[in-house]
Amino acid sequence: MSILVNKQSKILVQGFTGTEGTFHATQMIEYGTNVVGGVTPNKGGTQHLNRPVFNTVEEAVKATGANVSIIFVPPAFAADAIMEAAEAGVELVVCITEGIPVQDMVKAKLFLQGTKTRLIGPNCPGVITADECKVGIMPGFVFKKGKIGIVSKSGTLTYEASDQVAKAGLGVSTAVGIGGDPIIGTTTREALELFMNDPETEAVVMIGEIGGGMEAEAARWYKDNAKKPVVGFIAGQTAPPGRRMGHAGAIIGGAEDTAEAKMRIMEECGIHVVKSPADIGATMAKVLKK
């Protein structure tokens, strides 16, 4: 079992024939992901990586039945690509592109409210269901099949958490990198809720960072809806107020935006908080033995 993607998912690549799209689509196909085609305007009717290329997402969906799209287009066109996929009825859109103007994402997020489309990202590593389907840029070999869900704002910490979980003799059901921009699609709480409702996920690793209120929102939701144990970590514990750390959304603006405040709220809500990512795996193993 998994959330969001599995072996049956039919993946479309927007920006298919570009350098990034080509490289990562190749990696996805090699992992076993069911990539059914791609979209590059003015290249419709051609073949790329032995898959058909289409001019529009609408054409691609009609021809292939694609229900998931991954976006590798430049920042100036990425929001339009998100909206095009949603308009074509794609159920899940994973946007890898970073540097999308905030004003463009405001427009895209409002547009999505009237559709059935779920967005992951932008500026994220994507989603992977171990040994089944990789829709993103993460190194697939890091993810060993198991029953621990991962939701993270950070790409590299997603990989670290998976490695820690594997070293503890456990594995991953699905890992979701939600992205660190100020405006994103799926939130920490929404991803956590999906894992809580997945019968094959036994526990969850939740990785956040300074800035914004998503971790506090997720923790408070968890307090009222806890079904499975959660191990949490917050990056940026030494960051000074007002300093942006890495992601555009990682800037301390309010009292609950600091790492210390987030960790306290998470602990108060029943989450097992670790101070170092090196402790994630061992803590999860210990929690599951209780």
Residues marked as catalytic: 247
Whether 69 contacts 90, CB under 8 Å = yes
Whether 90 contacts 67, CB under 8 Å = yes
Q: Which residues does 275 contact at the CB level (< 8 Å), separation at least 6?
A: 233, 237, 263
Q: How far is CA 244 from CA 100, 181, 197, 250, in A?
A: 17, 11, 34, 5
Q: Are strands 172-177 and 126-129 parallel, antiparallel or unpaired?
A: antiparallel
Largest CA distance in the chain: 58
Sheet with 272-273, edge to edge strand ranges:
133-136, 126-129, 172-177, 145-152, 203-209, 230-235, 272-273
Specify the 3-state DSSP secondary structure of 203.
strand
Specify the 3-state DSSP secondary structure of 51.
strand
Identity of the residue numbered 205: V
Radius of gyration of the chain (CA): 18
The one-character DSSP state at 7 is T
Specify the 3-state DSSP secondary structure of 120.
strand
